[in-house]
Homo-oligomer: A and B are copies of this chain.
Amino acid sequence: MDTEDGGAKLIDVARLANCSPATVSRVLNGNPTVNETVRERVARAARDLGYVPNGSARALRSTRTRLVGAIIPTLDHAIYATMVDGLQARLAEKNVSLIINTSTYDIDLEYEQARLLVERGAESIVLVGSTHRSETLAMLEQKRIGYVYTYTSRATEAGAAVGFDNEKAGRTAARYLLDLGHTRLGMIAGITQDNDRAAGRRDGFLNELERSGIDLASVPVVEGAYRLDDGKTGMKRVMEDRRRPTAVFCGSDILAAGAIKYCHGAGIAVPGEVSIVGFDNLEIAELTSPELTTLEVPARDMGRIAADYILASPSQRLHLRQRELAIRLVVRESTAVAPR
C-alpha cells in the first residue's frame, strides 16, 4: 500500500478523503464550488499519499496540455540559448513546460520535429525566422496550433512575430560605416541558404551601400557558419580582394571575433587599417581586443515576449501579433574613421 508501484491515483485520494473522484478533481483544479472542509480533507489526503496527477490522462480528457514547443537552429550559439532561457523562464512562471528541439538550420528536420511536437500536444510553437517548409506551417494551421516567429518582425496571416528587422539592421551597420567615411567595404555574412535573417542583414547592408552610390560589384561578400574559424578564413578572403576594404560588417560577433583574430595574425591593424562591426552583442564582444563594435540583439526579450504572446488569451493576442524590437548600435573600439 505504501510501496505501491506507480503511486496513488485520483481515486485513491477520493477514497481516503471519503468523497467522489469528481470532487477531488474539482479541488485539484481550484474549482470554487467545493466546501472548505472537504477541500482541506482532499488536499490533506493528496499530500499524505504523495499523489501526483497523471498529466496524460488530464491532457486527454481536458484537451489542454500546457506544453509549448520551440525549434531553434542550435543551442550552441548564445543568441539562441539566451532566447530560450528567457522563453522558458517566463513560461515556467505559469507552469507551462517547454520542449525544445534543435534543427541545425535544416528545415526538413524542422518539419519532422514540428510533427512530433504536434503529436505531443504542444499548444504553441516557437520558430526562428520565417523560412520554413510550407508543409510545416500548413500542418500547424490545420491543427490549429499557434506559432510565433522570432528574430524577425514580419508576422504572417497565421503566425505572430517578435523580433527585429534584419534588413534595417544591415542598413544601420552600413550607414554607420559610411558616415565614418568608408567607401571600400566588405561583408562576412552568415550562411544565407534557408536563412532569412542572414540574408536580410546582407541585403540591407548592400542596399544601403548601393543607395549611397557604391558599386556593389566592388564589394566582397563571403559567407561562413557562425564559427571562429569561418570568421578567420572569411576575413582572409575579404582582405585579399583586389580592392581591400577598410571596413567589414560581420553577420555575427563570432565571425567578427574570428576576423579580428585573423587581422592579429596577419598584422593588420584594427581599426587602424580596417574597421570591423559585429552582430548580436554577445559577451565575447567585450573580450576581443580591440573590443567589438556591434549591433545588439534583444535575445532574452524576444524569448520573454514570445512567452507573453503564447500565454495571452486569444483576444489579447490580436494586439501582440507583431512586435518589432529595437536594434541598438553599440560602439566600442573596433571601428574608426576611414584611413585617408
Contacts and interface: CB of A to CB of B under 8 A. Distances in A.
B144 A5 contact: yes
A266 interface: no
A102 B121 contact: no
A202 B65 CA distance: 43
Interface stretch (A110-118, A179-187, A238-246, A324-332): A110-118
Interface string A109-144: 000010111111100000000000000000100111
A101 interface: yes
B84 A75 contact: yes
Given A5-B144, A101-B88, A120-B97, A289 B289 contact: yes
Contact of A85 (B76, B95, B119, B288): B76
B102 A116 contact: no
Given A6-B143, A287-B257, A65 B76 contact: no
Nearest to A70: B100
A155 interface: no
Interface string A264-293: 000000000000000000011011110000
Interface stretch (A46-54, A165-173, A211-219, A315-323): A46-54
A284 to B, nearest CB: 6
A103 to B, nearest CB: 10
Contact of A75 (B88, B97, B254, B261): B88
A122 to B, nearest CB: 9
A88 B76 contact: no
Contacts of A100: 84, 88, 98-100
Interface string A21-54: 0000000000000000000000000000010111
Nearest to A115: B52
A142 to B, nearest CB: 6
A103 B144 CA distance: 32
A139 B50 CA distance: 8
Given A81-B81, A98-B100, A286 B228 contact: yes
A144 B78 contact: no
11 contacts: A7-B143, A52-B118, A55-B56, A75-B82, A75-B88, A78-B81, A95-B116, A97-B120, A99-B99, A261-B287, A289-B289
